[in-house]
Chains A and B, each alone.
Chain A
Amino acid sequence: MDLYLPIAAMSLDVFLLLALGGGVGFLSGVFGVGGGFLLTPFLIFIGVPHAVAVASSANQLVGASVSGALAHWRRGNIDFQMAFVLLAGGLVGSAAGVWLFAVLRRIGQIDLAISLSYTLLLGTLGALMLAESTRAILRLRKPGGPRRKLHQHIWLHGLPLKMRFRRSKLYISALLPLSLGFAVGVLSAIMGVGGGFVMIPAMIYILGMPTSVVPGTSLFQIIFVAATVTVLQAVGNGTVDVVLALVLLVGGVVGAQLGTRFGQRLRGEQLRAMLAFIVLAVAAKLLFDLTVAPPDLYSLETIGP
């Protein structure tokens, strides 16, 4: 059954969109990432214009992360204090990102920027996460090793403006989560992602937060970053397709709830290894597409109404 999408100006199969939303939502619930990093490329693969895919994914993320965050909130897994500091950076970052998006679009490099940022980020993160989780799994197999510290202190934690985050049992510089939030905000705007896949590893490895509060906190602040991006994209670029976003959501929210429960049965290390594999696979696919000669070297864009 085909559905006409008013902003994308194309027809797509409803069940394809529902399945896509459901699958991505499930992953989102399991890993606490918004899933946008998978949704946007898949939308592009099925022919949605890059700009519309990015903006509508951000819209869909609002709903998906509300649903996911509520599930984590009931289990008390959100560090609100940390979330608000991240958010302060995130809001400034997303405004900067939407502006950058418009500039890149004007000079004709937005498609490249989207693909390249995905490839670089996903490739680096995937490799790091895979290496770390493999070490962790190996360490578990070998009992009697030295007990791990709660978290490692690195020089970044010693920067000025120190704050105490009770829920995360941390006493670190507020500049750290602020700049992390900013960077993720920029990514959200350019890539249509909540940035969970960057945020989560950074929260674990850079901030040193306990794994249990990471997904909930990440999802909670993604709600607000994604909402800001959606509004800014609607105003600045007119590329938010609300029909597309809502159909994806219907599949996505159900998938997210199931995913959250499934995720609780898995061990942290296994979870991180699985996420690493998915991230690496998407990066490989995107890199492959960039290096393959396009069928037509020329492309056309109509300007104006």
Chain B
Amino acid sequence: MRRGCWFLAIALAASSAVPAVAAEPLIADLTSHFIAITTGFTGTDVVLFGATDGTGDVIAIVRGPEHDAVVRRKSRVAGIWVNTQQMTFTGVPSYYAVYSSRQLDEIAPPSMQALHQIGLVNLRLGAAEKNRSPEEINDFRAALIRERQRQGVFGDGVGRIAFLGDRLFRATIPFPADLPTGEYRVEIFLVRDKAVISGQTTPLYASQAGIDADVYEFANREALLYGIIAVAGAAMAGWLASLPFRNA
């Protein structure tokens, strides 16, 4: 938080001291580009801040690393619930949130929202199977978004970007304790008269750190050795624990 203010002060100083250099209509940055997930990690805030070259509105989109995802649907077969249908979506962001300085519909026409994938309804998720009806695809799509919202990685609404005067803006982006790891992208748009004037993209990395990360890394890289160590450790613990009972 404190660092955020400090950066803001610099941004303010820079924009007022040399106004002639402000050829860029939009300049934005994050207080931190790296989130370290350690054992005691309970979530963190990253502050987005920046300046514009005049009046206008700012929209920001935070997207997590993309993966493929399978959505499965259960139905009742002979009295029990079984997965009977499934649909694969490609390029599903593992995190998604929208921030805006004003109501989206007031500043961005639907075509712009669709083009820049602003809002969950405009999120482009590629359904891998093409031979399914649009209603079916919509149902599975809605289920995917619902599940991600339940996990807390898809934002429900639109977060607020606050303006300080006409030119300086800032927004606090909260990340949950179990945020997906990988490379995030924060896209910032300057909107004036219902058109995008300028855009900027800045990266953000989230990765595990500390002993847990080492264990996870090792388990993936040296799976066989990891398995053998796991077995040896367990066998050793079992033997040690039986020692006090030896003369029973």
Chain A interface (Cβ < 8 Å from any Cβ of B): 4, 6-7, 9-11, 59-68, 70-71, 74, 108-109, 111-112, 116, 223, 227, 230-235, 238, 240, 242-243, 245-246, 249-250, 253-254, 256-257, 261, 290-294, 296-305
Known A112-B82, A300-B69; contact A59-B147, beta-carbon cutoff 8 A: no
* Complex contacts, A234 vs chain B, CB 8 Å: 219, 223-224, 226-227, 230
**A302 vs B148: C-alpha distance in the bound complex, in angstroms?**
11
**A70 vs B234: C-alpha distance in the bound complex, in angstroms?**
14
**A9 vs B213: C-alpha distance in the bound complex, in angstroms?**
10
Asked if B122 is at the interface (CB within 8 A of a chain A CB), the reply is: no
- 18 more CB-based (< 8 A) A-B contacts, given A108-B70, A116-B80, A240-B227: A59-B234, A66-B238, A67-B241, A68-B238, A71-B248, A109-B82, A233-B227, A242-B230, A246-B234, A249-B238, A254-B241, A257-B244, A257-B248, A293-B76, A296-B147, A298-B71, A303-B69, A303-B70
* Complex contacts, A60 vs chain B, CB 8 Å: 234
Binding site secondary structure of chain B: helix
Asked if B233 is at the interface (CB within 8 A of a chain A CB), the reply is: yes
* Complex contacts, B236 vs chain A, CB 8 Å: 63
* Complex contacts, A291 vs chain B, CB 8 Å: 79-81
Question: Chain A: which residue is nearest B66 at the CB level?
Answer: A304
Which residue, of A234, A235, A303, has the highest number of chain B Cβ atoms within 10 A? A234
* Complex contacts, B212 vs chain A, CB 8 Å: 4, 6
B224 touches A66 (CB 8 A): no
Q: Which of B100-108, B111-119, B138-146, B160-168 contacts A (4 or more CB under 8 A)?
A: B138-146
Chain B 199-243 near chain A by CB (<8 Å), digits 1 or 0: 000000000100011011001100110111111011111111110
**A250 vs B39: C-alpha distance in the bound complex, in angstroms?**
21
* Complex contacts, B242 vs chain A, CB 8 Å: 66-67, 70-71, 253, 257
Which residue, of A6, A70, A233, has the highest number of chain B Cβ atoms within 10 A? A6
Option from B67, B82, B178, B230 in Cβ contact (under 8 Å) with A302? B67
Asked if B73 is at the interface (CB within 8 A of a chain A CB), the reply is: yes
**A235 vs B246: C-alpha distance in the bound complex, in angstroms?**
35
CB of A63 to closest CB in B, whole Å:
4
**A62 vs B241: C-alpha distance in the bound complex, in angstroms?**
13
**A295 vs B237: C-alpha distance in the bound complex, in angstroms?**
40
* Complex contacts, A111 vs chain B, CB 8 Å: 83
Asked if B45 is at the interface (CB within 8 A of a chain A CB), the reply is: no
* Complex contacts, B224 vs chain A, CB 8 Å: 231, 234-235
Known A240-B219, A291-B80; contact A261-B248, beta-carbon cutoff 8 A: yes
A297 touches B74 (CB 8 A): yes
Option from B68, B79, B182, B248 in Cβ contact (under 8 Å) with A303? B68
**A42 vs B79: C-alpha distance in the bound complex, in angstroms?**
24
B68 touches A108 (CB 8 A): no
Asked if B55 is at the interface (CB within 8 A of a chain A CB), the reply is: no
**A219 vs B73: C-alpha distance in the bound complex, in angstroms?**
40
CB of B183 to closest CB in A, whole Å:
12
Question: Chain B: which residue is nearest A106 at the CB level?
Answer: B70
CB of B40 to closest CB in A, whole Å:
8
Pairs across A and B, CB under 8 Å, 29 listed: A4-B212, A7-B219, A10-B178, A63-B234, A63-B235, A67-B241, A67-B242, A70-B238, A71-B248, A111-B83, A112-B83, A230-B230, A230-B234, A234-B224, A235-B224, A240-B230, A242-B215, A253-B240, A257-B241, A261-B248, A291-B81, A296-B146, A298-B71, A298-B73, A299-B71, A299-B72, A299-B83, A304-B67, A305-B182
Question: Chain A: which residue is nearest B139 at the CB level?
Answer: A298
**A111 vs B80: C-alpha distance in the bound complex, in angstroms?**
13
Option from A231, A243, A253, A257 in Cβ contact (under 8 Å) with B227? A231
Option from B73, B83, B147, B237 in Cβ contact (under 8 Å) with A250? B237
B215 touches A6 (CB 8 A): yes
Asked if B15 is at the interface (CB within 8 A of a chain A CB), the reply is: no
Question: Chain B: which residue is nearest A60 at the CB level?
Answer: B234
Asked if B75 is at the interface (CB within 8 A of a chain A CB), the reply is: yes
CB of A286 to closest CB in B, whole Å:
11
B26-50: which have CB < 8 Å to A? 39
Question: Chain A: which residue is nearest B94 at the CB level?
Answer: A302
Question: Chain A: which residue is nearest B223 at the CB level?
Answer: A235
A62 touches B215 (CB 8 A): no
Known A242-B230, A246-B237, A290-B81; contact A298-B219, beta-carbon cutoff 8 A: no
B135-180: which have CB < 8 Å to A? 140, 143-144, 146-148, 177-178
B248 touches A243 (CB 8 A): no
List 7 A-B pairs, minimum CB-CB distance, nearest first: A234-B227, A66-B238, A253-B241, A298-B143, A63-B234, A63-B238, A231-B227
B239 touches A67 (CB 8 A): yes
* Complex contacts, B219 vs chain A, CB 8 Å: 6-7, 234, 238, 240, 242
A63 touches B223 (CB 8 A): no
